[in-house]
């Protein structure tokens, strides 16, 4: 049996979500020859299920002290803002910003410990109290008597983020639809990937593969016979409500838990409507609940936390989401982005950003590991493959409600 034609490239990224797309842009800016392979559609799965928040960790500090997770991502809003100005490692000037801040509100008086924390030096410059005359319209209602804080966090339109990252690298992004794949490993453990299409077979022989496929990383690890790094899944059950209420809201509501009682982000929809996307403790409590029961609970929460808001004849739907992450003791939330070599010695890195805001950290971790193995840019041209370009995935609300 003859050996297929060999395709030389520095890096092959598998997975076209935000992690893979960000990494592709970052690696190419450093001079690496890199391509990305996507099995379905760009942004499908966790990426477009994201609320688009680029946060600095205050939401992880609702117990009244900075946590490890909060410290790990404190600089992220500033990092992303540099990219949005075109002054960062990845050019995001074409990305739509839905809100340049995020709110934190309570329905009544905030506990003394939390009040002191939010006014402390530890969070100075990241949180500010919003005076009554500076409140956004939704919090100027007579029914609001709680406290309101403004965070430096921002909210991005994730579809425009995916599109912007893809558009700069279209010559290096390919769909695996219609192609058969076969992994092989030499005695040294070095992986290759055969792509079989109607026009023949080609063999990819990169210096390294990077698995950035979210939950799909588990299948990729199994396909190459690697047991580690192990993956965990932490489920959520989010709620979407499409309506004509005129005011957008991007905010966390304080509760008694150490996570927000309710997190709301607002996303434009067709026909002058918007979608409020509901997460926080509500989405954690919703795991295992029937959609109708969770929607009923969401209605109760909105009535309790925003009683002056009338959404009118709204449409409701739910979305089950699985957060794929590196396995942690007791399935806890990881604090940082993760990238490491597979445990069987092959030339494959497994990468999970763990949250949207940490994609820059993930890219740094990947480059650091490549460099330590002596994998540097070769100057090779980007190969041309006989594969189509993948489409952009629809948003969850487009799937639920239509465009």
Residue numbers of the domain that contains 351: 6-47+161-232+327-401
3-class DSSP string for the chain: CCCCCEECCCEEEECCCHHHHHHHHHHHHCCCCEEEEECCCECCCCCCCCCCEECCCHHHCCCCCCCHHHHHCCCHHHHHHHHHCCCCCCCCCCCCEEECCEEEECCCCCCHHHHHHHCCHHHECCEEECCHHHCCHHHCCCCCCCCEEEECCEEECHHHHHHHHHHCCHHHEEECCCCEEEEEECCCCCEEEEEEECCEEEEECCCEEEECCHHHHHHHHHHCCCCCCCEEEEEEEEEEEEECCCCCCCEEECCCCCCCCEEEEEEECCCCCEEEEEECHHHHHCCCCCHHHHHHHHHHHHHHHCCCCCCCCCEEEEEEEEEEEECCHHHCCCCCCEEEECCCCCCEEEEECCCHHHHHHHHHHHHHHHHHCCCCCCCCCCCCCCCCCCCECCCHHHHHHCC
Distance between CA atoms of residues 217 and 342, nearest Å: 11
In a domain, 182, yes or no: yes
Q: pLDDT per residue over 308-358, tens digit each?
A: 999 999 999 999 999 999 999 876 778 899 999 998 889 999 999 999 999
In a domain, 283, yes or no: no
In a domain, 156, yes or no: no
Under the banding of pLDDT at 50, 70 and 90, the label for residue 255 is confident
In a domain, 88, yes or no: no
Report the number of distinct structural domains present in the chain.
1
In a domain, 357, yes or no: yes
In a domain, 144, yes or no: no
Q: pLDDT per residue over 160-186, tens digit each?
A: 999 999 999 999 999 999 899 999 998
pLDDT at 126: 75
Instruction: Calculate mean pLDDT across residues 27-49.
Output: 98
In a domain, 130, yes or no: no
In a domain, 218, yes or no: yes
Question: Is residue 66 pLDDT above 90, yes or no?
Answer: no
Instruction: Calculate mean pLDDT across residues 230-240.
Output: 97
Question: Is residue 139 pLDDT above 80, yes or no?
Answer: yes
Distance between CA atoms of residues 248 and 235, nearest Å: 26
Q: pLDDT per residue over 268-310, tens digit each?
A: 998 999 999 999 999 999 999 999 999 999 999 999 999 999 9
Under the banding of pLDDT at 50, 70 and 90, the label for residue 68 is low
Q: pLDDT per residue over 352-400, tens digit each?
A: 999 999 999 999 999 999 999 999 999 899 999 999 999 999 999 999 9
């Amino acid at each position: 049996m003859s050996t297929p034609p060999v395709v030389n490239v520095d890096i092959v990224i598998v997975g076209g979500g935000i992690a893979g797309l960000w990494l592709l842009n970052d690696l190419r800016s450093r001079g690496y020859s890199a391509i990305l392979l996507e099995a379905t559609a760009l942004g499908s799965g966790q990426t477009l299920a994201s609320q688009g928040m680029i946060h600095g960790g205050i939401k992880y500090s609702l117990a009244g002290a900075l946590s490890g997770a909060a410290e790990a991502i404190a600089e992220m809003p500033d990092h992303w803002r540099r990219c949005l100005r075109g002054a960062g490692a990845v050019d995001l000037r074409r990305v739509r910003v839905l809100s340049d801040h995020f709110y934190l509100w309570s329905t009544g008086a905030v506990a003394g410990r939390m009040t002191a924390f939010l006014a402390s030096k530890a969070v100075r410059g990241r949180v500010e109290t919003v005076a009554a005359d500076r409140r956004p319209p939704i919090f100027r209602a007579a029914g609001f008597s709680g406290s309101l804080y403004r965070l430096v966090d921002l909210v991005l339109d994730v579809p425009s983020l995916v599109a912007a990252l893809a558009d700069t690298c279209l010559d290096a992004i390919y769909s695996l639809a219609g192609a058969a794949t076969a992994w092989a490993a030499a005695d040294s453990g070095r992986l290759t990937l055969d792509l079989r299409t109607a026009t023949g077979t080609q063999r990819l022989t990169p210096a390294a593969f990077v698995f950035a496929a979210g939950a799909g990383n588990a299948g990729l690890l199994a396909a190459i016979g690697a047991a580690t790094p192990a993956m965990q899944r932490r489920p959520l059950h989010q709620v979407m409500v499409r309506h004509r209420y005129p005011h957008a809201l991007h905010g966390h509501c304080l509760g008694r838990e150490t996570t927000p009682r309710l997190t709301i982000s607002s996303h434009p929809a067709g026909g002058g409507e918007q979608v409020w996307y509901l997460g926080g403790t509500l989405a954690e409590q919703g795991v295992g609940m029937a959609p109708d029961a969770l929607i009923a609970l969401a209605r109760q929460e909105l009535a309790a936390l925003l009683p002056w808001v009338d959404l009118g004849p709204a449409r409701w739907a739910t979305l089950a989401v699985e957060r794929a992450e590196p396995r942690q003791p007791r399935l806890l939330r990881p604090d940082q982005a993760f990238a490491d070599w597979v445990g069987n010695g092959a030339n494959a890195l497994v990468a999970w950003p763990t949250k949207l805001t940490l994609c820059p950290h993930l890219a740094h971790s990947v480059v650091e590991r490549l460099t330590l193995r002596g994998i540097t840019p070769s100057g090779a041209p980007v190969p041309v493959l006989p594969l189509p370009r993948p489409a952009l995935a629809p948003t969850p609300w487009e799937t639920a409600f239509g465009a």
